[in-house]
Amino acid sequence: MKIKEIRDKQTAAIELENKDLRKHLFELRTQAVTEKLENPSLLNKTRKDIARMKTIIQERNLAEIKGQEKKQPEKPKVKIKKVRVKLPRTTKSQGKRKRRQ
């Protein structure tokens, strides 16, 4: 199936056909195991058709999400100020005294 044909269909129809192709792929695999598969290239063709359909569905989902993001008002950006705290420095001799006690 060509990608153009898939794009022309509605999302619900693509999902339904994708489900049917997955069932067909399972049947092809069982035929391959039992050595009754006449055309082994059907396995690859079916897998690629499933991948194409999943790609189109994902593209449409992402486009829908981006459309929703544009409709929402933007939140005001708040800058967070970094605060640096200075700790008192200890000398080597002070450190030794603390350890001996």
Residues 34-56: tens digit of each pLDDT: 988 889 999 999 999 999 999 99
- Higher confidence at residue 97 or residue 54? 54
Q: How many CB atoms lie within 10 A of CB 78?
A: 6
Mean pLDDT calculated for residue range 11-22: 96
Domains with residue ranges and CATH for the chain = 3-71 (1.10.287.310)
pLDDT band at 90 (very low <50, low <70, confident <90, very high): low
Per-residue pLDDT, 10: 93
Average pLDDT for 76-90: 77
Q: How confident is the model at residue 23 (pLDDT cuts 50, 70, 90)?
A: very high
Contact 49, 1 (CB under 8 A): yes
Q: Which of 68, 65, 62, 53 lies closest to 8, judged by CA? A: 53
| Placement of tokens 């993001």 in the chain | 69
Q: Can you give the pLDDT at residue 95?
A: 56
For residues 71 and 93, what is the distance between their CA atoms, to the nearest angstrom? 64
